[in-house]
Chains A and B, each alone.
Chain A
Amino acid sequence: MRLHIKGGRVVDPASARDAVGDVYAADGKIAEEFSRADRVIDAKGLVVAPGFIDLSARLREPGYEYKATLESEMDAAVAGGVTSLACPPDTDPPLDEPGLVDMLRRRAKALSRARVYPLGALTVKLRGEALTEMAELGEAGCVAFSQGNVPLRDTQLLWRALQYAATFGYPVWLRAEDAWLAKDGVSHDGEVATRLGLAGIPSFAETIALGAILELVRATRARVHVCRLSTAGAVEMMRHAKQEGLPVSCDVAIHHLHLCDMDLGYFDSCCRLEPPLRSQRDRDALARGLAEGAVDCLCSDHTPVDEDGKQLPFAEAEPGATGLELLLPLTLKWGAAHKLPLAVTLARMTSDPARILGVATGRIVTGAPADLAIFDPGAAVRVTAGSLKSQGKNTPFLGYELAGRVHYTVVAGNVVYEG
Chain B
Amino acid sequence: MQRNPQLNANGELQHLLSIEGLPREVLVQILDTAESFVGVTEREVKKVPLLRGKSVFNLFFEPSTRTRTTFEIAAKRLSADVINLNIALSSQTKGESLLDTVANLSAMQADIFVVRHNSSGAPYLIARNVKPHEHVVNAGDGRHAHPTQGLLDLYTIRHYKKEFTRLTVAIVGDILHSRVARSLIHGLTTLGAPEVRVIGPQTLLPSGVEALGVRVFHDMRAGLKDCDVIVMLRLQNERMDGTLLPSAQEFFKHYGLTGAKLSLAKPDVIVMHPGPMNRGVEIDSTVADGPHAVILPQVTFGIAVRMAVMSIVAGN
Contact = CB atoms under 8 A, between A and B. Distances in A.
A109 B178 CA distance: 54
Given A313-B119, A313-B122, A197 B208 contact: no
B120 A314 contact: yes
B208 A313 contact: no
B206 A194 contact: yes
Question: What's the interface size class on B, roughly?
Answer: 20 to 34
Interface stretch (A167-175, A185-193, A212-220): A185-193
B98 A193 contact: no
A267 B6 CA distance: 13
Contacts of A190: 207-208
Given A266-B2, A308-B97, A316 B124 contact: no
Interface string A251-267: 00000000000000111
A202 B207 contact: yes
Interface in B194-249: 206-209, 211-212
Contacts of B20: 195
Nearest to A202: B207
A267 B207 contact: no
B125 A313 contact: yes
Contact of A315 (B98, B120, B206, B212): B120
Nearest to B209: A194
A204 to B, nearest CB: 11
Nearest to B6: A266
A191 B206 CA distance: 8
Question: What's the interface size class on A, roughly?
Answer: 20 to 34
Nearest to A188: B207
A380 interface: no
B124 A267 contact: yes
B68 interface: no
Interface stretch (B71-79, B139-147, B253-261, B299-307): B139-147
Contacts of A266: 2, 4-5, 121, 124
Interface string B168-183: 0000000000010010
B153 to A, nearest CB: 17
Contacts of A191: 207-208, 211-212
A195 B182 CA distance: 7
B89 interface: no
A312 B182 CA distance: 22
A326 B262 CA distance: 59
A198 interface: yes
Count chain A CB atoms within 10 A of each CB in B125, B179, B182, B209 and give the residue with the most: B125
A312 B119 CA distance: 9
Interface string A234-274: 00000000000000000000000000000001110100000
Given A189-B207, A313-B119, A197 B124 contact: no
B120 A197 contact: yes
17 contacts: A194-B206, A196-B120, A196-B144, A197-B120, A197-B143, A197-B144, A197-B182, A198-B120, A199-B143, A202-B207, A267-B124, A312-B98, A313-B121, A313-B122, A313-B125, A315-B120, A315-B121
Interface of B: 1-2, 4-5, 20, 97-99, 117, 119-122, 124-125, 129, 141-145, 179, 182, 206-209, 211-212
Given A267-B124, A267-B125, 11 more contacts: A190-B208, A191-B212, A194-B211, A195-B182, A196-B144, A200-B206, A202-B207, A266-B121, A267-B121, A311-B129, A313-B117
